[in-house]
Each structure stands twice: as structure tokens, then as C-alpha cells.
Structure 1
Amino acid sequence: MLAVAPLPPRERILQATLALLESEGVEAISTRAVSAAAAVQPPTIYRQFGDMQGLLNAVASSGFASYLQAKAAHVGTGDPVGELREGWDRHVEFGLTHPHLYTLMYARLQPGEQSPAALEAAAMLSALMGRVAEAGRLAVGVERAAAMVHASAVGVTLTLLGAQEQDGGLANQMREAVLGAILTPDGETAVDSTHQEAATHAIALIALLPKRPAPFSEAERALLLEWLTRLI
């Protein structure tokens, strides 16, 4: 029978820290506790991560990566608005299932700090929002819509984590309120005004412009983008 190679020290430290975090919270993470759980000497932690904050940042990145892996494995339905709703629900579920990790990921970061995994998550959300725009369903710009969804999903999840009693309907109501603010109504009679109709088509064209070859020079493309932006 082949022997299983032991994990490298860095992986053992990450796994041990994550286990401590999930079971006891961030207050349980100390040099002594992590080194004992990972079967390493304390200096190894500092060689691998610089300091304890570096270790916590790495654990947060690892948590993001796990979330993104599960998110990326989800098969698209071809309905970007439906996928947006499902993505919101998975985000909230992840936070409620992993409260200590979620708090570390979203509530303990330094100002201006984002992990590479967080940037990847933002890129995935923007890409999905771009597909919503291409379908003619966005009432605001892609980046603004992505920022609104991200801020509200994180906010409602942290609110639920801090609540003494769970409000099962809050996340759904918040989701629909935000989607109502960024989406155009579905159906042939969705547009209530000429201005809104023009804005919706302009947003869709802006999202499609980088993906479609067009007989425009760079100056013409920039001018077209400026005109479309004025319609929003």
C-alpha cells in the first residue's frame, strides 16, 4: 500500500487555522494554538506568512477560493437574471453556513484591501451583470449594478449573522428590492417611458461593444461610447 505524502507545512497551517476559525472563531487563533494543531514550530508560521495578520489574510483568500470553486461549478441556465438570483442566494447561504469565515472575509479587512480571490469574485459578478445588460434587462450601468448587488448581499448577510433571531424573509426581500432597482421589467410592455427604453438599449450596447467587431476607428468608438453614456 502506497504511503500518503504529508501535506507541506503551509497547507497544514492553513487547514489548522481554518478548522480553528470555523469551530471557535477568530479569537481562538493564536500562534500557540495554530502551531499545535498544525504540528509545526511557531517560527514556521512567521516564515510562511510573515505574521498572524498575513496568516488570517491567507485564510480569507482560501475561503474565497473555496466559495469561487463552488460558484464556478454551477452550470449556467442561459437566463442571466435567474443566475443572478441564484448567485445571491448561494452567497447568503455560504455566509450563514460559515459565519466565522464569512466575517473574516468581509468584516475584518483593512481599508482598501482586497484579496486576489475577492477580485476574481468581483470580476465574475461583473461578467454576469454584463450578460444581464446584453439581454436588455439592466436599468443602470454594469459596474453600478454589480456594486449595488455586492454591497447589499454582503450587508444583509452580515446583518443576519448579527441578529439574535433569524428573519427568513429579509434576504429575499432585500434581493428583490435591489434587483427591482437595477433591472428593467420583463415583457413587451416593460418600458414605461421613452427615456428608460433608450437607457436600457444604451446599456446593452455598451456591454456588447467590446465583444463585437465594428467598422469604427478608436476615435469613433470613443465618441459612440460617449453618446451612449449620455443616454443612461
Structure 2
Amino acid sequence: MSQYDDTRSKIIEAAARLLREDGPAAVTTRGVAEGAGVQAPTIYRLFGDKDGLLDAVAEHVMAGYVSAKAAVVAAASADDADPLDDLRAGWQTQIEFGLANPAIFRLLSDPDRVRHSPAAQDGKRVLASRVHRVAATGRLRVTEQRAVDLIQAAGIGAIQTLLATPREQRDLGLADAVYEAVLRQILTEPPERTDGGVMAAVVAFRAVAPQLDTLSGAEQRLLAEWLDRVIAAIS
């Protein structure tokens, strides 16, 4: 590691510690400089201002979290674990992370930060891979993108509601109830199907279509377009 990277890493870790322990107000130039053992001008030179430093801290923490999630998804895929169990585990991990890291969660709940955060985008791709595994089993009644958006929106809302409630008054069953409500929106239940299972079958086919290597790239794109049109018409 270069001296530049080492110094940058020390500053980020010092700021992350202050943020985790005392919140954003504690992340002052003086406090971070003392914690990292550097001069204050070094922070300005590397990060520009406090917002730049907070962005770097949020990215650092989120990147570590997403990396761990990606490893879990890869292991679940390799072990052929139940996709629904894996999806639920991902939800629970997200809720736990948000409640354990309120300052980081609030930073990454800012739409402007999310749009420019590689780690946040990687996190959404991990969720999408989990949803994709469910789609491949034929259990989705909605498109993969809609399922991802519903789960993400519900998770953010559940965490925000719990964080806004005094710790001793929090209903920890709230997140589970929200998740079950989302599942009722996105999953099929064979006895209740009204389309003869067509939607689930088409969504499942759409999920595995990119793996049909016998088709050319143009044919795969055309097939995807056709399936998307069928899904849109049934929805």
C-alpha cells in the first residue's frame, strides 16, 4: 500500500469510528485529524471538505458490507440453497445493518449519494441476483425489476421507521411483517393463480433466457424483448 493510500485509509477509518460512535456532528476536521494522526490540511487535500470525507466513509463501510453479502450469495448459489431462504436472509441482514449503522444508513438514503455510490449500486446488484434466483424457480408474479424495487423500498421504509422510534419502543416484528407483505405482492401461490401460471412461467423463462448460448446475441435480445412485452401485457 502506498503512503497516499495508507494515509487515506487511516483518515477514513478514524472518521468511520467517530461517525459510528457519535454521529455526523462528531466528524470534525480536528477530531478526524487527531484520530488519524495527520494534519488537518491533509484531510482537505485528500477529500476536499467534510461532505467529501463523509462520502468516502459511507462508500468504505458500504463496500465492506456489500462484499460480504456478495460472498453469501455466491455461496448460496454454489450450495444450491433455497432462493427464498437466501432472499429472506438478505432482508434480515439489511435490516440489521441499517439499525446497527444509523449514520451510514442515513447517508446512503440520500438519493444523490446513492446515484453516485458504486457500493450502493453493487448492493442493488446483489439484491437483483437474489431475486433472479427466485425468478428462475417460477415463483415471481412480477418482473424482476419490480420485485427488486419493492424489496428495496420496503427495506428502506422499515429501517427509517424503526430508527425514528425510541429504541425501547421499537416493534422488532415490524420489519418481518413488512417483508411478508412484500412477498404477497411478488410471489405466486399455486392455488390462487388467476392466469393459469402464465406470468410465473414467462418471468422464469425471462430469467434464464440470457443463458441460452445456442442463440446469437441478436436472437437473445429479440427473445428478451418478446418476453418483456408478454410480461407487460399480462401485468
Query: Which range, TM-score by smaller chain?
Result: 0.7 to 0.9
Aligned position for 1:136: 138
Cα distance change of structure 1 residues 68 and 215 upon mapping to structure 2, 3 Å threshold: closer
Cα distance change of structure 1 residues 90 and 222 upon mapping to structure 2, 3 Å threshold: closer
Shift, 1:158, TM fit: 1.4
Aligned position for 2:204: 204
- Does the CA-based 8 Å contact 2:59-2:117 persist in structure 1? yes
Secondary structure in structure 1 of the residue aligned to 2:115: coil
The answer to whether the aligner puts 1:84 opposite 2:82 as a matched pair is no
CA distance in 1, matches of 2:129, 2:180: 20
Aligned position for 2:39: 41
TM-score, with structure 2 as normaliser: 0.86
Report percent identity of matched pairs. 36
Secondary structure in structure 2 of the residue aligned to 1:72: helix
1:100 to 98, 103, 112: 103
2:22 to 9, 17, 24: 24
Shift, 1:127, TM fit: 1.4
- Describe the superposition over 1:60-103 as per-residue Cα deviations: whole angstroms up to 9, x where unpaired: 11111121132233231521111111100011011112222222
CA RMSD of aligned residues (A): 2.3
Give runs of ≥4 in structure 1 deviating > 6 Å. none
CA distance in 2, matches of 1:60, 1:109: 13
Cα distance change of structure 1 residues 225 and 15 upon mapping to structure 2, 3 Å threshold: same
Shift, 1:191, TM fit: 4.6
- Does the CA-based 8 Å contact 2:14-2:36 persist in structure 1? yes
Q: Which runs of 5+ in 1 are unaligned?
A: none
| More helix by percentage | 2
Aligned position for 2:188: 184
The answer to whether the aligner puts 1:125 opposite 2:127 as a matched pair is yes
- Does the CA-based 8 Å contact 2:55-2:113 persist in structure 1? no
Shift, 1:24, TM fit: 0.5
CA distance in 2, matches of 1:171, 1:180: 14
Matched pairs, number: 223
Aligned position for 1:10: 8
Give the letter aligned to residue 209 of structure 2: L
CA distance in 2, matches of 1:26, 1:79: 39
Aligned position for 1:155: 157
Q: Which runs of 5+ in 2 are unaligned?
A: none
TM-score, with structure 1 as normaliser: 0.87
CA distance in 2, matches of 1:62, 1:109: 18
The answer to whether the aligner puts 1:171 opposite 2:175 as a matched pair is yes
Cα distance change of structure 1 residues 220 and 53 upon mapping to structure 2, 3 Å threshold: closer
